[in-house]
Amino acid sequence: MTDVTQILNAIEHGDAAAGEQLLPLVYDELRRLAAQRLRNEPPGMTLQATALVHEAFLRLVGNDPQLPQWENRGHFFAAAAEAMRRILVERARRQRSFKHGGEFERHDIGDLPIAAPEIREDLIALDAALTKFAEVDRLAADLVQLRYFAGLTMVEAAQALGLAPRTADRTWAYARAWLHREIAGNEATDRP
């Protein structure tokens, strides 16, 4: 059993000091994953990788008595990917809302597009499709979360889920096709 798994077990059994021991062991890897995820965000994003890691970590090992039970290191990082996903989706929804100026887009003068604006994926549409996909195939949805939101490589994601690399490749191809069809279908129905 790894140090991370032992500490996760201690947290599970109510050891308050174990949370302080966990952060130094997983911080660098969580920060790397958060930085990879934030690289895909549009310019002007105010959330930094450090803040994303801290917020995700608090959600994972905060003072909530209903903390999930992690089986191992891979399960913990899958939960971290889910927490990062939720944080980013919540920010996207907040920024989109009228109350927070969601109808306006911030532009620096030097960043104004000359021709057509850059195409940007819709994080909220992806979240809705991924939630629906999880009902169809939870394992494939977990693979997408690990790859897209945690920034893991295919090999790392396959190891975290206990899949053979070829199975992970097939599952990834299936998941991408399913999500593409779902998002493209929703966009077509949203148009007037």
Averaged pLDDT, groups of 10, the chain, 192 residues long: 69 68 74 75 69 80 62 77 84 70 60 44 81 93 88 88 92 91 71 48
Chain mean position to CA 62: 18
Domain range 119-192, CATH architecture: Orthogonal Bundle (1.10)
Q: Which residues of the chain form CATH 1.10.10? A: 119-192
CA torsion, points 52, 54, 56, 58, in degrees to nearest 10? -150
Q: Which residues of the chain form CATH 1.10.1740? A: 1-103
Give the pLDDT of residue 189. Answer: 56
pTM greater than the 0.85 cutoff: no
Domain spanning 1-103: which CATH class is it, in words?
Answer: mainly alpha
Q: Which residue has the tokens 């148009």?
A: 191
Give the pLDDT of residue 1. Answer: 47
Mapped to the 3 state alphabet, what secondary structure does the chain carry? Answer: CCHHHHHHHHHHCCCCCHHHHHHHHHHHHHHHHHHHHHHCCCCCCCCCHHHHHHHHHHHHHCCCCCCCCCCCHHHHHHHHHHHHHHHHHHHHHHHHCHHHCCCCCCCCHHHCCCCCCCCCCCHHHHHHHHHHHHHHCHHHHHHHHHHHHCCCCHHHHHHHHCCCHHHHHHHHHHHHHHHHHHHHHHHHHHCC
